[in-house]
Structure 1
């Protein structure tokens, strides 16, 4: 009986350990990677497993962002060679992900870029970080997306509206913050 109990405890510890070491568990930091490879930590994310689903809570460090009023909308922007403005996803989001689908997290990390000299906001210049798991980290590469598609709520709020069909390649070497990493 003690052997079985020991085996059960060992299995529980192993499964907890593998979950705790997972890139989709615990507390992590969110970094944007600039054109020169420098990491800029913009916030934290906490992953938790509840009812068999991986939930996340994202907290961006707004002290790094400057307030801009663009096209009748207040935006939090990072300043560099370009303005890189965070656009919070405006509709219901379950904030759940799994190893095969990180799209809701990508929706919480939407940005728009613009030159400082340009007037207003151009939501056509949207950035969607297409996320994937890679050797213990979550990595994202900037993809172009026309964020005007979020001007009205999607028909089905349970599905992430930005899909592969809406994305276009970005010349990452031409964008200030073309990559993202969560570790």
Structure 2
């Protein structure tokens, strides 16, 4: 799977501040309601604040759904399929974590469903929590991303497009970066 995202960033969170001259690596984990985790990749931070998000190919299965390829995590009742953000993303972390949120988009489908329904989008709203970042699941219609945003509009997903997800009704309601 070649879903590696290279991005420069300015980092202000304590978690994301590497020691002078040293790079840091943080695990990126999706977490079930019972606390079970799947480590899906790493977030590497350079001393200058640039980050690289690399997903672990071995955790994902290749699927051809609704006429396009997806990399999916296979769960007991649902598949969690990665959706690389297809447009320009400034990929800068500062006062908010929105750019990183755009790098962690998924869509879910039932294991017995034939195709994918982009209505079942997963958007993790990220917040610093001590020395880590935690994201809570919000639901969204990924069809919103079918048309490129207007020139200069880097963030087409608006707060009104997101609905807080019920953690009990989803397999992986949290993302944790630590």
TM-score range, shorter chain: 0.7 to 0.9
Contact 2:13 2:128 in 1 (8 A): no
Structure whose alpha-carbon radius of gyration is higher: 1
TM-score under structure 1 length normalisation: 0.82
CA deviation string 1:7-63 (max 9, x = no partner): xxxxxxxxxxxx89921233211000012211111000012364xxx4321000011
Contact 2:12 2:93 in 1 (8 A): no
Q: Extract unaligned runs of 5+ from structure 2.
A: 1-10, 18-23
CA deviation string 1:121-161 (max 9, x = no partner): 10000000000101110000000011101001111445222
Aligned equivalent of 1:97, options 93, 96, 99 = 93
Q: Distance in 2 between matches of 1:130 and 1:38?
A: 20
Structure 2 SS opposite 1:140: strand
Runs of 4+ with >6 A deviation: none
Deviates more, 1:41-50 or 1:108-117: 41-50
Matching of residue 144 in structure 1 with residue 139 in structure 2: yes
Matching of residue 33 in structure 1 with residue 58 in structure 2: no
Aligned equivalent of 1:125, options 104, 114, 120 = 120
Higher helix share: 1
TM-score under structure 2 length normalisation: 0.84
Describe the shift of the 1:157–1:123 C-alpha distance in structure 2 as closer, same or farther (beyond 3 A). farther
Q: Distance in 1 between matches of 2:53 and 2:80?
A: 18
Q: Distance in 2 between matches of 1:172 and 1:69?
A: 27
Deviates more, 1:40-49 or 1:80-89: 40-49
Q: Extract unaligned runs of 5+ from structure 1.
A: 1-18
Q: Distance in 2 between matches of 1:163 and 1:28?
A: 28
What is the RMSD of the two structures over their aligned residues, measured on CA atoms? 1.8
